[in-house]
Structure 1
Amino acid sequence: MKTVINLVLAACVIALIYICYGSIMGPIHFDEERKLREKAIIARLIDIRKAQQEYRSMHQGAYTDNFDSLITFVKTAKLPFIMKVGTLTDDQLNSGMTEKKAMELINKAKKTGNWKDVEKEGLQNFRRDTMWVAVMDTIFEKGFNPDSLPYVPYGNGAKFQMQSRRDTLDTGMPLNLFQANVDYDVYLKGINEQELNNLKDVQSKLGKYCGLKVGDIEQPNNNAGNWE
């Protein structure tokens, strides 16, 4: 009988140790896994922001809410790059010379073959040439795959939600906004349901979004991420 009691007590002690270990390590494991996953997701959201900002520069200030359009843009678009040679001297600037005026004189000379005015203004070594560089080679690292943009890391094939807004303020100024986001439930599901619920409860009470997002569809925020 004593042996049975000892075995029961030993089992209870082991169970208690297991429960205590789980209560301590559960939150720690959840936080570690959350940080790992969010690091990859934040990197992807930053890539989306980069692509959207360049897209906007080529589309009259408007963003897109369509990943297919954004991916096509990244794969095919080229951005202007101004190669500068020479600078205007203080004397040239004081006399009213600007880069625009200088290039008008140079372009005129190229067409007519008469370089007298260019020489007179001392612009022989002044150049501003526009080169077109592929978006892929400009804002992303070598080997980047644009087709990965919509997909949430650790999301089991889930895609980011993306919205854009084109509006006009009361002042008549244009308002262009975009937002890309993903809920906690998409990428933290299955790690520890209690810790996930605790996290969502805290965020909700603070009035914060339960997930990660970049940009804001409701108000301008300079396309900041909610982790920044």
Structure 2
Amino acid sequence: MSFKLAQGALLGILLAQLCLGTAAPDPQKRTPLQEKQFQIYMLKGQLYEVQQAQLDKQVAKRKSGVFVGVVLAELNLKIDGISNGNFPLLYGVRAGYQQYLKGGVGGLRYYGEYLGGVAGSVLKDNQSSSYQIASLNVDLVMDKPIDAQRKYAVGVFGGLGLGWNGYKDYPKATRNPNGFGVIVNFGVAITLNTKHRIELALKIPPLKSTHAFSYSLTSGNIYYVSYNFLL
């Protein structure tokens, strides 16, 4: 950025000199010192452009690769209109591959993910219920670097997936609510030293409300925090 500012300032000075008639466009009229300074200036400009191009490639390469992660999520459920207030957090894992474009500002990631949790039953005393969601996802990832080497960044992401989710209110329950369909993901993220990524996000499950099974299910969206490590 400082080089670009210097480049703009020099251009402004040259234009002003041309307007005032104090600078001649003919390179042969430069003094040896002016010619040397001009050549150094041009070489610095070329070096800067080469360095930026190399950095673009390096950033994209080091931000691309296989990653693994863990997820901690929250979900609200109603069974036959009764809120399952006992439902705790969902725990999950994910693994996938991310590919960044030149410059490392944007890219795509492909990953599989599983979340699950156990809580008390709504319909049966002293019984346990369970909720699960498994999916394959594709997200568009956009990052804004906040340091010169582009190892730290803030960003956003959004994407779609195909997955299954289901709920079982007690171990011997039959015809339990479950469904397969499209999943929506979006959220914000921060990247630390390239390898570490922390996200706050929302996931819309494929099945949110149904009365087609032995008991009805109504759920909200899944809100989660995740940590990804780039291998």
Structure 2-normalised TM-score?
A: 0.26
Higher helix share: 1
Structure 1-normalised TM-score?
A: 0.26
Q: Which has the higher contact order (CA 8 A, sep 6+)?
A: 1
